[in-house]
């Protein structure tokens, strides 16, 4: 594993708490279903890029890069439909945004995306070419611009402080993805996984700003941010504990199987201990804010 593969791996792990929180809050409504589809696409985007940048897959880097780029456009389409659920009450009859990932797949099959891939000692250098950049900008100035306009309009007419707060964080998530995806097209972004820093930050924003739907004021935001940070630390520490245990105690070599086993072990621990750790961390954070008056529910 090289250093360039580490950021996509961390971004992949950062989405695990979101999956756990989502699956622990059922039944699902329309927003939760769209969130699940976005989480799957964002998770696969970082995970496939991690595999492509690591030493686990070395047979066909061009195909791997094509696959990652197509998933990137699919992730953007799913993020759009998740955003839509906050300003549109009716169901989407014709999912026109899927034209963008479909176009990316066709261009990738025809060999237009990417223009070239070069493997060097410092990592993978991807020449994206004009077509994938054109698809990205067309998506930004049509679908993305409409989402931003609709969210701002909803923000102005909404009397609900919680909804207005959610919209602010959704706009922030859009800004994060836009900035880091644009940075990925710069010369340094073709060599380093800049876009996945944005995916990592986006996971953090969505964890406490969207899933819980209870961001009423700065005090509540900060309290929930601390609580979810504690849960994220629990997941990351559990993963690396499994990783080191498998690496040292069992003598397994560094590779793809050990990461998969560590991730499965993390999910198993989370499934067993999530409620207990959740109540413990949230209870301690609430005592910090409310003192001894707080009684755990």
Task: Look up residue 97 and give its DSSP letter.
Answer: G
Domains of the chain, by residue range, sit at 3-215, 217-297
Pick 21 or 57 by higher pLDDT: 21
Check whether 208 has a pLDDT greater than 90: no
Q: What is the CATH number of domain 3-215?
A: 1.20.1070.10
Pick 286 or 288 by higher pLDDT: 286
Pick 217 or 190 by higher pLDDT: 190
- pLDDT confidence of 187, banded at 50, 70, 90? confident
Please state whether the predicted TM-score (pTM) of the whole model is above 0.85: no
Q: Which neighbouring-strand residues pair with 123? A: 120
Cβ-based neighbour number of residue 127 at 10 Å: 11
Closest of 47, 75, 57 to residue 181, by C-alpha? 75
Give the chain's mean pLDDT: 81
Contact between 75 and 43 (Cβ < 8 Å): no
Closest of 134, 126, 154, 129 to residue 4, by C-alpha? 126
- pLDDT confidence of 18, banded at 50, 70, 90? confident
Closest of 179, 205, 183 to residue 194, by C-alpha? 183
User: In sequence order, what are the residues at sequence separation of 6 or more whose Cβ sits closer than 8 angstroms to the Cβ of residue 13?
Assistant: 235, 236, 239, 263
Contact between 50 and 76 (Cβ < 8 Å): no
**What ranges make up the beta strands (E) of the chain?**
116-120, 123-127
| Of the ranges 13-17, 72-76, 273-277, 289-293, the best mean pLDDT one | 72-76
Model pLDDT for residues 105-145, shown as the tens digit of each residue: 999 999 898 887 777 666 677 778 899 999 999 999 999 99
């Amino acid at each position: 594993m090289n250093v360039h593969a580490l950021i996509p791996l961390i971004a992949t792990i950062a989405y695990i708490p979101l999956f756990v929180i989502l699956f622990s809050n059922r039944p699902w409504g329309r927003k939760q279903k769209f969130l699940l589809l976005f989480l799957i696409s964002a998770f696969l985007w970082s995970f496939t890029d991690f595999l492509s940048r690591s030493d686990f897959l070395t047979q066909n880097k061009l195909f791997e890069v094509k696959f990652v780029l197509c998933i990137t456009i699919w992730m953007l389409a799913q993020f759009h439909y998740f955003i839509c659920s906050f300003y549109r009450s009716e169901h989407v009859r014709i999912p026109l945004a899927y034209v963008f990932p479909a176009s990316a797949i066709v261009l990738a099959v025809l060999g237009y995306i990417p223009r070239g891939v070069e493997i060097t000692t410092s990592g993978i250098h991807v020449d994206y070419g004009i077509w994938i950049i054109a698809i990205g900008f067309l998506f930004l100035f049509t679908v993305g611009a409409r989402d931003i306009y609709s969210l701002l309009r909803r923000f102005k007419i909404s009397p609900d402080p919680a909804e207005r707060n959610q919209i602010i964080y959704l706009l922030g998530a859009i800004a994060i993805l836009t900035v880091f995806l644009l940075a990925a097209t710069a010369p340094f972004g073709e060599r380093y996984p800049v876009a996945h820093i944005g995916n990592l930050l986006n996971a953090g924003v969505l964890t406490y700003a969207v899933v819980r739907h209870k961001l009423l004021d700065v005090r509540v935001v900060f309290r929930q941010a601390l609580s979810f940070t504690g849960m994220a630390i629990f997941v990351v520490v559990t993963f690396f504990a499994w990783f080191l245990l498998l690496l040292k105690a069992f003598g397994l070599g560094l590779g793809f199987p050990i990461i998969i086993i560590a991730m499965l072990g993390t999910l198993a621990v989370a499934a067993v201990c999530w409620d207990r750790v959740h109540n413990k961390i949230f209870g301690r954070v609430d005592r910090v804010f409310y003192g001894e008056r707080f009684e755990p529910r």
